[in-house]
Structure 1
Amino acid sequence: MTTSSQTPGPMPPEIPAAVPSRTTYDDPWQGSDVPHALRSPFPEPRIEGPTCVMCEAPAGVGDAALRPDPRGRRYPSGAQVLYCTPCLPPAPLVQTAAGVIAAAIEHGASTPAEIAQAEADAGIIYDPQRVEEIAAAAAEQAHAEDQAEIAERGRQLARMAGDHRKINAVARLLEARRADTFLPAVDVARAIEWGTTALDAFPMTLTWRPEDGVDIPGPGDTGRRAIVPCRSSYGQLAHLVVEGDDRTKLATLVDAEFRDVCAPCPTDGCGEAETPGASYPLPDGWARLEIAGVDGGLRAYCSPTCVGDAFARAADELSADDRAAAIDPDQQDPEYLDASGHDDVARCVRCGCTEDAACEGGCAWVLNAEQVDLCSACATPAELAANGWQAVTEVPAGEER
C-alpha cells in the first residue's frame, strides 16, 4: 500500500434528514361560542335537516318526533342535539334517582318509605325548607362579604384622610415662609405625626403697602380678577386674589368705612376731561359723564365705581356751595376750606372764627335754618331772635332806665 492509496476521495453528498409526516386534524369547535359543558360528544349529522343523533331518523310523528337533549348539549354550529323517543336518554335527575333506588333495593330497602328516605338522604327530593335555608345562608354570606368590603374601604379612606391632613399640616407650616427659612425638625415631625402645627390657632397676617398698588384687570382683559400683592410676617410675597363678583362684594365692605372718593383711579385716562368738540370711541364698559353745576365738562370713567365716585365728589362740592350761598356768598371765607369744601375744625362761615379763636369781644354759636357753623357776631338780628337772643340798649352812666 502506497501513501497515495491512503488518501481519501471526495465525500459523498449529504442526504437530507427525513421529516416525519404530521397528521393534522380539523377542530370542529374552533371559533365556536358554545360553552364547553354544553358541547356534544357526537359529530354533527351529515344529513340535512333535523335528525336523531343516535339513529339518524328524520323528524316525524309519534315515536319519530324529535326532542332536545335533556342536558341541553349542542353541535359546533350551535344547533341543538336531538333524539327520537326510543333513543332519548333519561334526564340526569331521573338517572340519579334510578341509581339511588337501585342502591337502596340492593341494600334491602323494600318499602316505599325506605326508598323515599334513600332519595331524601341523596338530596334528590325537593325540600322547600332546605331551599329557603340555603338561600338565606347564601344571602347572609353575601351580606357579610359586603360588610367586610365596606369596612375595608372605610379603613382605606381613613388612612387617606390622615395622610391628607398631615400633608396639609406640613403645607401650613411652610406657607408664606421664605425658601431659606430654618424650621426645627420637631415642628415638622409634629405636623407629620399629629397633623397639626403650633400656628393653627392663629390666622396668617398679610400686610399691604400702598406703594405696592393693586393689579386690576384692564378694559380688554378677559380674566376679571384683582391681585393685591401682600407680604407675610416672614417677608414672603403673598397674593390676595379676588375674582369675579367677589371684587364688588369686597369693595362694598371696605367702602363702608374706608373708601376715599377723592382718590384717583389707577386706570389710565379715567376721570380725565375730554377736549371740547372732540369725539372718539371709548373702550367697552367705559362711560362719559358730565354733571351739571360742576366745572370740568365731559369726562370718561372706566367703571360704575368711578362714576359713583364722581357723583359723590360732585355732591360734596355742590352741597358746600349751597350751604355757603344760603348764608351770603360775599361773606364766605374760602381760606379755611379745602377743594371739596370740608374742614375738620368748626369755623364760622362768615368770619372764620373757631372755638379756640373767637371774635373780638367774644361770640357764641348760633343755630340757623341752613345748619352751618355761624357765630353770634355774624348772625343777623332775625337769626339771633330765632335763637331767643334779646337786643340790649346801652344806658349812659348816671341815667336810670
Structure 2
Amino acid sequence: MKIAVLASPADEPRVAAIPETVKKFTGLGADVAVEAGAGERAGISDSDYREAGATIGDRTSVLKGAGAILVVQGPDADEVSGMEKGALLIGALDPVNRGDAVKAYADAGLEALAMEWMPRITRAQSMDILSSQSNLAGYKAVVDAASAYGRAFPMMMTAAGTVSPAKCFVMGVGVAGLQAIATAKRLGAQVSATDVRSATKEQIKSLGAKPIFVESVEGIEGEGSGGYAGEMSDEYRKAQAELVSSHIAKQDIVITTALIPGRPAPRLISDEQLKTMRTGSVIVDLAAEAGGNVEGCVAGETVERHGVKIIGAVQLSRTLAGDASALFSRNLYNFLSAYWDEESKAPAWPEEDEILPAIRLTEDGKVVNERLTS
C-alpha cells in the first residue's frame, strides 16, 4: 500500500506523520509519500523524511495511487480531487461541523475515518488523538497562565522576605486536567481540583493536589460515559456553584476543562463569581471553542473582566507543533498497524470490531456512521 501524508492548511502547523512513523510504515512494507514542506512548521525537513524512507512530491504525485491518506485536518469538499476511489482518509475530520466535506468524501468513494471519534476503550488508548492532544493542552494551559500571571508560581525564600506560592484550581479532571495539575505542581503552585466524577478524587490526590468536591449531593460514580462526565442534576449544580464560589475567591489561577461531547460546554464560573476573584488572577478556559466554561470567555482572545484575565484557549496543542505532531502520528500508526496484514501489506478490517463502526464516516459512496445518519 502507498500511504500519502498531506501538508496541513496555513492555520495548522501539525503534520500527520513524522520520520519515526515513516520508518515504521516502511518497515511494514508500505510505500510512504510526503507532500513537500508538510513538516516544516513542526520542525521536520523534507530531507528528514527522505532519510526515513519517504518520497517527496507535490500533492498530485503524492496522492496518485495512494491507498491511505493521512491528514491532521480533513480536506475541504473541493480538495478531494486526485484522491483514489476506495482510499482511506484518516485524521481529525470534524464530521459534525463539516457535513459538506463528509458528503464529498462519500461522493469521491473514500473510506473516511474520523480519529477523534475513537472509542475510549483500553484497546484504543494508544490510538486516541483527543487524549494525546489534550495532554499537551493541559500542560500549555498552565504555562500560558504562568506567563499571563504577574507573579511567581513557587514559594521563594529570600533575604528580602518570602514569596507565597500561587494557588491554582483545576476544574475538570480528564486528560487535560490531570496534566494541568501535574504541571502546576511542578511549577510549585498550591493546587486543588474538582470534578463531578467521584472516581477522580484518588487521581487528584495521587498528583499531590487537594480534591474539592461536593459532599452533600451525589455526583457521578465511576468514570461516566466513555470516560467523560455527563449532565448533573439541578441540585448538584447548585451545590457545586456554592462550593466553587467559596473556593474560587482564594485562587490566583483557574484552569477549566469541562466538556460534554455533542453539547455546549457547561458553565462553571459566572460573572458574579468572577467578581469575587482577586485582581490579577488568570483563568484559562480550555472549553472556549465549545462556548466556554466561563461567562464572558471569547474563543481565541484574552479578555479582562473585573480585573481577571480570561484566556479563551483554542487548539493549544498547535503551539507545540513538534510534540503534537509526534503524538498524533503515533496514534495514526498505532491504529493502522493494529489491523495490518503482513501478506497484503495493507490494513485488513475484521468483520466484527468495536473501533471501526465508531470512527468510519463513509464507505462505498455513502455516509454510514450512525451519529450522522440517525
TM-score (norm 2): 0.19
Structure 1 or 2: larger strand share?
Answer: 2
Q: Answer 1 or 2: higher relative contact order, Cα 8 Å, separation at least 6.
A: 2
Which structure's CA Rg is the greater one? 1
